[in-house]
Amino acid sequence: KVITGDYPAIWGSDFGFSDERHDIDNIKYRPLLVDEIKKQYKSGAIITMTYHQANPVIGEPCLFESGVISKLTDEQWKDLLTPGTEIYKAWETQMDIVADILSKVQDAHIPVLFRPYHEMNGTWFWWGGRKGVEGYIALYKQLFHYFTEHHHLNNLIWVWASDRPWEGVEEFYPGDEYVDVLGA
């Protein structure tokens, strides 16, 4: 504001994954998100939210390295996509926390640019590097259906954001019916 005379048109945040070891991404700030989103939206900002989700096998709080940047075995990946398994239940619990926040924002009639599982065509995040319909695409669609059908969230503008438009990026694209905005 000091430089331009205006505040930014877009305000964004993350849902967090850590504790005091990485305080800027501390999950203790989640209870403050709804009020901050309302404040920013009232001031005219477009809201965007990203989620650096902790690996469901590791849980939260966790560190960025070894928690968000981590791996799942092929068997763990399969379990993640299978309702009723322990990993799926852990994932579901994490998603319920985020959905609760987003539903309060929905109740305030605030649209949110929602960017889940970004940079999927890289291999650093636990959700990344898994091509095809049984890979990343299945996880993205699982989240989409869980939020839209189970939690009835309709205020989300789904942002699919690859790391870069590298060759093969299309092998991670879930389809037009699941994506509102493309980004890199």
pLDDT on residue 166? 83
Distance CA 28, CA 80 (A): 26
User: pLDDT tens-digit profile of 43-86?
Assistant: 999 999 999 999 999 999 999 999 999 999 999 999 999 999 99
Beta bridge partners of 100: none
DSSP secondary structure string, 45-104?
PEEEEEE-PPPTTT-SS--TBTTTB----HHHHHHHTSTTSHHHHHHHHHHHHHHHHHHH
pLDDT > 90? residue 1:
no
- Token reading at 108: 């305030």
Note the pLDDT of residue 31: 97
Q: What are phi and psi of 13, to 5 degrees?
A: -155, 180
Q: What does the DSSP 8-state code read for residue 21?
A: G
d(CA 96, CA 94): 5
In this prediction, residue 7 has a pLDDT band, given cuts at 50, 70 and 90, of confident
* Residues of the chain above pLDDT 90, percent: 94
CA 152-155-158 angle, to 5 degrees, is 100
Q: What is the pLDDT of residues 110-154, one digit of tens each?
A: 999 999 999 999 999 999 999 999 999 999 999 999 999 999 999
pLDDT for position 164: 86
Cβ contact 50:115 at 8 Å: yes
Please, which pLDDT band fits residue 175 given cuts at 50, 70 and 90? very high
Looking at the predicted structure, is the pLDDT value of residue 179 above 90?
yes
122 alpha-carbon distance from chain centroid: 16
Least confident of 1-10, 66-75, 156-165: 1-10
Is the pLDDT reported for residue 41 higher than 90?
Answer: yes
Rounded to two decimals, the pTM is: 0.95
Give the per-residue pLDDT at 154: 98
